[in-house]
Structure 1
Amino acid sequence: MQLMASVFLPTYPDPPGPKVASNAVAVARWLNATLDVAIVNVDIPDVSNALSRFLLDLPPKIREVEAASRQRGKILLDAVAGETSRCNVTLMSQELKAQPALMGEAAANEGRYFDLCMVGWTPNNEASQMTAEEVVFSSGRPTLILPGDEDVGQLDHVVIAWDGSRVAARAVADAKPFLERASAISIVTVTDEKVLPREDIGDRLAHGLAARGLLAKAESIHAGNNEIGAALQEHAIEINGSLLVMGGWGHSRLRDFVLGGATEGILADLRLPVLMSH
């Protein structure tokens, strides 16, 4: 069965980083997946107040903002189309429209129709961050968070952040397409962050993967004085990991996200691609 992946590219107030689109195409090629590109443009409600119309001249400004959003979307789509053609990746595309506060929600709702969601993460880019958080916690699909400013390359060394939890188990199951293509799999357990179910959880997961034909190495690390998210990323980079797989702790209420420690640390300073499941 053909894997279906979608990348969500919000265009307001700023587009994602310059590498997100090309990285999404590279991942689709790596997975032999069809890529759906969902451009998320802004749709600002009409202003009917007479004072707003005549004194502030808002309606023309709204049309100008929406037109700029659509133009950024067209540029992004053209860039992806050129990249998919070069890489021989099957492309589908769609345009979503949503009010500024609901752009992430629109992406998450659409993401439920795909096997994998991809989003960009660019520092100080509110649209990218809001979309990423909403898709991770509301789409019900595994979400690959891509750095917006650098090439990701082949995701052939998968590092699994493993604590034996439900969300970690879900993440490992969702990572199957990546695990099957990996040349190396590392299972990393942080032992000084919280009480773990048992001492050998990493070895147990390695044995389970081996029974499925996947060779993995289990190891334990200490976070020490580092935040757990920083410790996981630093270790993954140290062992030349190209993809970090982890469960996403958190929930959203009225767009106020409450994140677990590891999740918050990863999203505060994303340094490599992260596949997150909730």
Structure 2
Amino acid sequence: MQLLASLFLPTYPDPPGPKVVSNAVAVASQLGAKLDAAVINVDIPDVSNALSSLLLDLPEKIREVNAASRKRGKALLGTVAAEAARCNITLTSQELRAQPAFIGEAAAGEGRYFDLCMVGWARDTESSRMTAEEVVFSSGRPTLILPGDEDVGALDHVVIAWDGSRVAARAVADAKPFLERASTISIITVTDEKVLPSEDIGDRLAHGLAARGLRVKAESIHAVDNEIGAALEDHAIRINGSLLVMGGWGHSRIRDFVLGGATEGILSDLRLPVLMSH
């Protein structure tokens, strides 16, 4: 059964980084997946009154913002189509609309119809982080978060952040298409951040994956004075990992996410592709 992946491209207030499209198409190619590209254009309702219309010409400003968002969306879909054709990827596309506060929610709702969601991440761009959070925690699908400024290359060294938790187990299961294609799999367990179920949890996961015919090794690390998210990324980069797999911990409180330490750290400073499951 062929994998169906969806790429979400919000166009307001800023479009994704320049590499998100090419990276997403490259991932679809590596997985042999069909790709759906969905731009999410902003739809700001006209809530102006007579005074604001007179002083600020608010309706015209709203029309300009909406039109600029749609223009960026058209350009992004054109870029995806060209890149998919170059890589011989089967592509479908769509244009979604949402009010500013519900762009991530629109992406998450649409993502439920696919096997894998992909979103871009850009430093100091709050909209990209908010969309990523919403898709991770509300879509019910694994979400691949892609850096927006550099090529990701082949995702052939998969690093699993493992603490024996439910969400970590979910992430490992969701990572199956990547694990099956990996030349190297590393399991890392941070031992000084919280109480773990036992001392051998990394070895037990490694044994299970090896029994499935995968090449895997396990090791333990110490965060020391680093934040847990930074420690995971630092180590993954140090061992030349190309993809970090981890569970996303958090819950929603009136649309304000309360995130776990590792999740918060990764979403604050993404330095390599991360597959996150909740």
TM exceeding 0.5: yes
8 Å CA contact retained: 2:48, 2:58? no
Aligned residue identity for 1:105: E
2:253 & 2:56 partners in 1: Cα distance? 33
| TM-score, length basis structure 1 | 0.98
Correspondence for 2:28? 28
Instruction: Specify the alignment match of 2:76 in structure 1.
Output: 76
- Matches of 1:41 and 1:125 in 2, distance apart? 17
CA distance in 1, matches of 2:264, 2:272: 15
> Post-superposition shift, 1:48?
4.7
CA distance in structure 2 between the partners assigned to 1:30 and 1:216 by the alignment: 20
Return the offset for 1:51. 1.7
Percent of aligned pairs sharing the same letter: 83
Matched letter for residue 269 of structure 2: D
Larger mean Cα displacement after TM superposition, 123-132 or 231-240: 123-132
Q: What amino acid sits opposite 1:78 in the alignment?
A: G
What corresponds to 2:38 in structure 1?
Answer: 38
- Aligned residue number for residue 114 of structure 2: 114
Which residue number in structure 2 is paired with residue 141 of structure 1? 141
> SS state of the match for residue 272, structure 2?
coil
Q: Is 1:86 paired with 2:86?
A: yes
Would you say the 8 A contact 1:11–1:127 is kept in 2?
A: no
- Aligned-partner residue type, residue 177 of structure 1: P
Tell me whether 40-49 or 237-246 shows the greater mean CA deviation.
40-49
Unaligned runs of 5+ in 1: none
Deviation at 1:52, TM superposition (A): 2.1
Partners of 2:48 and 2:55 lie apart in 1 by 13
User: Residue 35 of structure 1: SS of its match in structure 2?
Assistant: strand
Q: Deviations over 1:208-231 (max 9, x none)?
A: 111111121000000011111101
Partner SS state of residue 65, structure 2: helix
How far, CA to CA, are the matches of 1:124 and 1:254 in structure 2? 24
Q: Is the 8 A contact 1:246 1:275 kept in 2?
A: yes
Distance across 1 between alignment mates of 2:266 and 2:127 = 17
Aligned to 2:173: 173
1:159-238 matches, within 5 Å, as 159-238=159-238
Q: CA deviation at 1:118?
A: 0.4
Q: CA RMSD in A?
A: 0.8
Structure 2: runs of 5+ lacking an equivalent? none
The AA in structure 1 aligned to 2:188 is: V
User: What's the counterpart of residue 132 of structure 2?
Assistant: 132
Q: What is aligned with 2:239?
A: 239
Match of 2:249 in 1: 249
1:55 CA drift (Å): 2.5
C-alpha distance in 2, partners of 1:41/1:210?
45
Contact 1:157 1:185 survives alignment (8 Å): yes
TM-score (norm 2): 0.98
Question: What is the CA–CA distance in structure 2 between the aligned matches of 1:58 and 1:104, rounded to whole Å?
Answer: 25
Provide the secondary structure at the position in 2 that maps to 1:55. Answer: helix
CA distance in 2, matches of 1:80, 1:19: 11
The alpha-carbon deviation at position 5 of structure 1 amounts to 0.3
Between stretches 157-166 and 202-211, larger displacement belongs to 202-211
For residues 102-130 of structure 1, the C-alpha deviation after alignment (integer angstroms, 9 at most, x for no partner) is 00000000000000000011011122111
Equivalent in the alignment of 1:17: 17
Inter-partner Cα distance in structure 1 for 2:148 and 2:180: 26
Instruction: Kindly provide the CA deviation profile for residues 12-31 of structure 1, in whole angstroms up to 9, marking residues without a partner as x.
Output: 01101111111000000000
Secondary structure of residue in 1 paired with 2:56: coil
